[in-house]
Amino acid sequence: MLDSSRSTGARHHSSILVTGATGNLGREVVNRLQAHGARVRSLVRRQNGPRPGAESVLGDLTDPAAVREALVGVDAVFLLWPLLDSSPAHDLVAELSTAATPVVYLSTTAVDDEAACQSDPIVQVHADMEALLRDADLRPVVLRSDTLASNTLGWAKQLRAGDVVSGVGTARTAVVDERDVADAASAVLLAHHDQLEQDVYMLTGPEVLSRADQVARLGAALRRRLRFQALPADLARSHMLEDGRPEPLVEALIAASRRRPESNGTTDHVERLTGRPAGTFARWAVDHAAEFS
């Protein structure tokens, strides 16, 4: 575990830029940084009123001027890249290099360091972003996360209507609670560099689960008999497009379902960074049961 007396003492008044601060994970990261006394800044596309205790800069990661403004006086950056193409990130990386700001980048455990090409577009863009940051000599700390438990919140609409979750089938993964990822990220963001044992951490939950396993655990939390129905790719594509998802994202998700290999291992990296083991998906389901009712 990182020494909290050092990470929350000497860095108590750190200023951290959090990208993706309005998302499920980003909100958790912001909460933890603020709890440790850090000043938090976010880069937002639209101003919906200031978040208590946090400041915001209007713009996005493809806008160099907005990035430049957001980086002023910042001690570290928590970076989530939201696009399926790394090409627009070159200006961002240039701004990060000029600012010489430490970067913690959220990637995926699916990245294969030995592969010339990754399994699908989502993994490829993460691998490309890691390479861009390293090639710029930014020495990023990379947090490769497995599937976030909060992704299952996308099933809420179906579960309010019935007892079947239907969707594209995927390989099993070591689903990780986004709260654990946020705890790990905040620990790294507030740490002194010499406290970190490595540059890449693999953040996983304690067990490898299929989508059917996740649905079953949700059912136990909701006290309902639920089941998962895997759809053929063409039907899953149609449903996702009807729900309003952008076509490039839909195609990337279909490619991931077809080509991404099973994530068949777990790590203790959450515990190394936070001092406690990663939580189970069953516990996450109990804590979030109300959001599916």
Bridge partners (DSSP) listed for residue 44: 58
Q: Categorize the per-residue pLDDT at 5 as very low, low, confident or very high, splitting at 50, 70 and 90.
A: very low
pTM above threshold 0.85: yes
Which of 3.40.50.2020, 3.40.50.720, 3.90.380.10, 3.40.640.10 is the CATH number of 4-145+178-203+265-278? 3.40.50.720
Give me the residue spans of the domains in the chain.
4-145+178-203+265-278
Structure tokens at 72: 């002023």
Burial 219-256 (b: 16+ CB within 10 A, else e): bebbeeebebebbeeeebbeebeeeeeeeeebbbbbbb
DSSP single-letter state for residue 111: -
Given this model, what pLDDT does residue 50 score? Answer: 45
- Average pLDDT over the chain, rounded to an integer: 92
- Residue range 166-220, pLDDT digits in tens: 999 899 999 999 999 999 999 999 997 778 889 999 999 999 999 999 999 999 9
Mean pLDDT of 63-78: 96
Q: Which residues contact 188 (CB under 8 A, 6 or more apart)?
A: 2, 104, 141, 143, 196, 201, 273
> Percentage of residues in the chain with pLDDT exceeding 70?
93
DSSP letter assigned to residue 209: B
Mention every residue, 6+ apart, whose C-beta is less than 8 A from residue 51.
21, 30, 40, 42
Give me the mean pLDDT over the 62-89 stretch: 96
CB 106 within 8 A of CB 147: no
What is the pLDDT at residue 2?
67
Alpha-carbon distance of 289 to 114, in angstroms, equals 40
Q: What does the pLDDT look like over 236-272, one tens digit per residue?
A: 999 999 989 999 999 999 999 999 998 889 999 999 9
CB 143 within 8 A of CB 189: no
- Helix, strand, coil shares of the chain, percent, nearest 5, are 45, 15, 40
